[in-house]
Structure 1
């Protein structure tokens, strides 16, 4: 009788936990689409990397990287994905920790948590592969209201054991992270900053973070090129247009929606035809080539906003409008097949007319841009349209509005291709929130 009663009580106690687990799922809270290998890419405001990575072919060497990032959704449990997608040799990581940034490379005392992989402190990731960590508890997140953490930044520390070889990275983080000197060993456990003298405005190896959330939590993925990645926005200011969108959604819905950025500076819809560690391009693999890694394999994606095509029409891309339209149709079809119920929102391309560089700003490019915009608005491919062109265009010149041109990252006149902070703010506020998440109240 006592045994039966004990079993009944144990089963009763387990029911709430089981019900809770059944009602939760992983949701992507942060992402950084990978490219490479380093240094192939388009970083912004990058410090001299010679001291951190003296020989790019050898990569990181027995050193610790402390990567700083801002989740868009918070909970008390997370997991991390590490990528060796563009590596050419096995990547060995150990001493991985995650803590709350205090400032610079320093962490809030007591916040640093060890990260495990199948219960072990180290993992070997083969070339071309990625790996998820075990779940990590975050005791510093308030149990009652995780949304109180909105705007705070995590610091993910990882030790590269031996030599990494060519490094998979995301060039344009527009966020300062930190590194020890080569040969410094494993310092991820150290919550201080003295061991991290070098800085970088790129992210290495880490490409996604999930938070444990209520099942069905909406995740909006912003897919595109440098204008989604945030070129000419404020360094460490978190004022790309996806950031503006995330803050607007948080103001309306609280800690119930995630917005993640899958932009790569220089990216194209249809090109390049080939992309590999031995044949990289600064803009990363084409949208079609990276679709599985950067959209379909991420957790809980419910809406994709796609802004891309201006680089296809540059002198580097030289694509026809028909080629880009066909590639868009194929990619949207794959997204909908892979993620049933997904909403795919098309965004019109902003103007590059008057760009000072060799590759952009010429009349033929603008004619193609306007033709693609007509397709996005009227072609029936997308579930909705965001008119970024209308939000940023100066009708008198055909280019960006004058106040949206000066560079917000490093100062200077701007390039008339990338909107600045004022431009991204206008773009973020041009989005109809009910159109991207029509069922959320």
Structure 2
């Protein structure tokens, strides 16, 4: 009888327990030096697209690449209606430790207090941040593929329903995450990769990156408490940091090595139980192009890196889903003009893909290569899926990739086996 009461109490506790899961994220990056933006007595209104919904929300502000404290003079959150405007009935003040402003120490981040807000899944959220002092955006996400808005140098506009727009940007300065409160059954899926995850080649303001489409599919399938986070970074490599050879072009904006940022961008995310790994193609492509030829990686180098990620995720009860690398024949970079493909690099790609598919070390595998390659020439991307640079898919290509992900990978039974964080 005592055992029966304990089981009942455990079941009731699970019915009422809540947890935080991620509904949106962007990996923090240093800025490209030539594009470094400074805000002066201005407000930015940042638009993000949710994956899962909820009734309580919190935001994450990062100063991880800043050398000086970051002052947030005020912050608001609301449902976006159109362009830079919001539904005023949904407008909420965001506080930090009970205060309407926050100072974020250099090389750190802060999580806001929870906000009561009815936030639908697959909706647009406006987060407004006021910078009362001259503030260089030393921590940002470069490839937002989203129009965001900057006010005139006229003070705090965080509560404005009709936002005064001085100019627009297509980056997300300082904002790195939005969480929602979910039941104990909730979970987060992190897509961890390069520009192929970040959505390079997709249409701005359309939310057609493959993680966006995966989130739509999950919601349409009734899996309301599964959040999907995009932790892609343009030019990112699994084994190496942003190359010093490209400092004059990008600074350190291509990010820390995947092995380095895995803790922050995956393991530290709220409620994470799954990670979809999409790194490695830049490690293969860069030598002889952005980096010296003698930096060529071997299949063994990349496999060793993947094994490290798998081991670290498994220690935290997180399932790791591998993805094959799509083809890169004829791929190019415009400025400076560079090409990436060689038969030697193709041999490494093929060998690594074979291990991903057949090595049985990932918990599951998605064959993105098979989805987007041209059947008549498998070393190149199918023209119908090519954004134009023969490397990044277009909207149709990302949709095809997302549609190839079996939703059964995220069933309640598999989530239970992944453990609860």
What band does the TM-score fall into relative to the shorter chain? 0.7 to 0.9
- Out of 47, 67, 74, the position equivalent to 2:53 is 74
Deviations 1:351-402 (A, max 9, x none): 1111134242222222211111111112232001100111111132221111
What is the distance in 1 between the residues matched to 2:91 and 2:14?
Answer: 26
- 1:287-436 to structure 2, matched below 5 A, reads 287-314=258-285, 315=287, 316=290, 318-337=296-315, 339-340=316-317, 342-357=318-333, 358-397=338-377, 398-405=379-386, 407=387, 414-436=388-410
Q: How many residues align?
A: 390
What is the distance in 2 between the residues matched to 1:359 and 1:270?
Answer: 21
Asked whether the equivalents of residues 89 and 164 of structure 1 are also in contact (C-alpha less than 8 Å), the reply is no
Shift of 1:420: 0.7
What is the distance in 1 between the residues matched to 2:269 and 2:154?
Answer: 33
What is the distance in 2 between the residues matched to 1:19 and 1:321?
Answer: 48
Deviations 1:23-51 (A, max 9, x none): 11111111100101x2259xxxxxxx7xx
Shift of 1:234: 1.3
Matched, 1:184 2:154: yes
Say which structure is richer in strand.
2
What is the distance in 1 between the residues matched to 2:32 and 2:332?
Answer: 24
Normalization by structure 2: what TM-score? 0.87
Distance 1:440 1:83, change over 3 A: same
Deviations 1:120-145 (A, max 9, x none): 0111111110000000111xx2xxxx
Asked whether the equivalents of residues 23 and 50 of structure 2 are also in contact (C-alpha less than 8 Å), the reply is yes
Asked whether the equivalents of residues 242 and 254 of structure 2 are also in contact (C-alpha less than 8 Å), the reply is no
What is the distance in 2 between the residues matched to 1:438 and 1:111?
Answer: 32
Asked whether the equivalents of residues 41 and 156 of structure 2 are also in contact (C-alpha less than 8 Å), the reply is yes
Asked whether the equivalents of residues 361 and 417 of structure 1 are also in contact (C-alpha less than 8 Å), the reply is no
Secondary structure of residue in 1 paired with 2:260:
coil
Q: Which residue of 2 aligns with 1:45?
A: none
Distance 1:326 1:247, change over 3 A: same
Q: Which residue of 2 aligns with 1:265?
A: 234
Matched, 1:100 2:79: yes
Structure 1 unaligned runs (5+)? Answer: 1-14, 42-48, 50-55, 408-413
Asked whether the equivalents of residues 137 and 174 of structure 2 are also in contact (C-alpha less than 8 Å), the reply is no
Shift of 1:83: 0.1
Distance 1:404 1:239, change over 3 A: same
Matched, 1:222 2:191: yes
What is the distance in 1 between the residues matched to 2:321 and 2:396?
Answer: 23
What is the distance in 1 between the residues matched to 2:332 and 2:108?
Answer: 39
Normalization by structure 1: what TM-score? 0.83
What is the distance in 1 between the residues matched to 2:15 and 2:185?
Answer: 13
Shift of 1:20: 8.6
- Out of 108, 111, 123, the position equivalent to 1:132 is 111
Distance 1:343 1:437, change over 3 A: farther
- Out of 109, 117, 123, the position equivalent to 2:96 is 117
Asked whether the equivalents of residues 350 and 388 of structure 1 are also in contact (C-alpha less than 8 Å), the reply is yes
What is the distance in 1 between the residues matched to 2:402 and 2:20?
Answer: 26
- 1:11-160 to structure 2, matched below 5 A, reads 23-36=17-30, 38-39=31-32, 56=36, 59-138=38-117, 141=118, 149-160=120-131
Say which structure is richer in helix.
2
Q: Which residue of 1 aligns with 2:4?
A: none
Shift of 1:169: 0.3
Q: What is the root-mean-square deviation of aligned Cα atoms in Å? A: 2.4
Secondary structure of residue in 2 paired with 1:253:
coil
Structure 2 unaligned runs (5+)? Answer: 1-8, 416-421
Shift of 1:436: 4.0
